[in-house]
Copies of this chain bind each other. A is one copy, B any other.
Amino acid sequence: MAFYMNVKLIDQGVIASVLKMPRVIELMGDAYAELSAGTVDSPLRTALVNEDGTVLYKPAYSGASGIFCVKVVSVFPGNVEKGLPVTPGIIVVNRAETGMPVAILEAGYLTSLRTGAATGLATELFAKKEAKVAALFGTGGQSRHQLEAMLCARAFETVYVFSRNPENAERFCRENVDIAGGCELVANPDRKVLKRCDVITAATTSPEAVFEWDEIGDDVHVNAIGSLGPKRTEISAETLLNSTVIVDQRAACLKEAGEICLMRDAGLVGDDYNPPEIGELLNAPELQQKPTVFKSVGNAVQDLVCSAEVIKATEAHNIGVTAEL
């Protein structure tokens, strides 16, 4: 029993210093390629539930990443009133060769970053090259990285920011000037601007569509990363039925994405509905008929590739606190 393990503790600050958005967008390419190729092992998550909330355990492994990881993330809505995060989480990393636990990472920042990067990758792949105008729905915890990722993917001149609460949109624009660079952030514009948007990203908790089909242009690319669960959708069925839909993982989206589940429940698509995965289109020519809609429910492989990159960087540069256990 005398053996002690050295476990590296990696906080948000360390992750922010070693994982930059352009690189994370590249990593999402690796992640989705592995996911679609079936070379990653990411079994069904386990959920433990009590009257206050849920703790989710999401494990994943791939040989290419060189690590095992599990994200332990809680969903406790009542934490808002306690001044605590609603979805606190950590990631535990074990080394592939020895199974030794090597690191504990704060998960919230990394999750937001990789979810943004998924939007970044989809925008790179599916938005038109000369895209100049974008819209962002939602100004919650995920939205800063959604904006940053869009700005990495295309040289936007204007991003319109929509929120149910106009003050939130104004605050968001003020607080994100630092990453906007030469791009103008405009809070609460007239909805008519949606027709001119080349890209629209939805990152809300809305139960129903945040824009209608007749509000948008016919060569737009849409990213939809919010509205978790099979009963909520950010995007209208009409928009989806008139677009090329691309998903992060077919099996997961057919089960968990309200965008798709609600269409199926309404009989608008059949049980054989079969949208392509982004990992299948990484090297495809620009073949998607516009509009395009990328729907992501998130996958443990995104955490896996990011965690592997963080571990590599912290080991190479000897960053992070090492604890003996």
Contact = CB atoms under 8 A, between A and B. Distances in A.
Interface of A: 1, 3-5, 7, 9-12, 41, 43-44, 46, 48-50, 52-55, 57, 59-61, 63, 68, 70, 72, 74-76, 78-79, 82, 84-85, 88-90, 92, 94, 96-101, 104-106, 108-109, 112, 141, 144, 321, 323-325
A87 to B, nearest CB: 8
Nearest to A84: B98
A99 B87 CA distance: 8
B48 A68 contact: yes
A85 B105 CA distance: 23
Contact of A90 (B7, B10, B55, B85): B7
A50 B9 CA distance: 25
Number of chain copies forming the complex:
2
Please indicate which of the listed interface residues A5, A53, A75, A112 has the most CB atoms of chain B within 10 Å of its own CB: A5
A46 B43 contact: yes
Given A84-B100, A90-B101, A101-B89, A59 B68 contact: no
Given A9-B323, A74-B100, A321-B323, 18 more contacts: A3-B85, A3-B88, A9-B9, A9-B325, A11-B325, A48-B60, A55-B59, A55-B94, A57-B57, A57-B70, A72-B92, A75-B99, A79-B98, A82-B98, A88-B101, A89-B101, A90-B92, A90-B325
A321 to B, nearest CB: 7
Nearest to A63: B50
Contacts of A60: 48
Contacts of A46: 43-44, 46, 57, 59
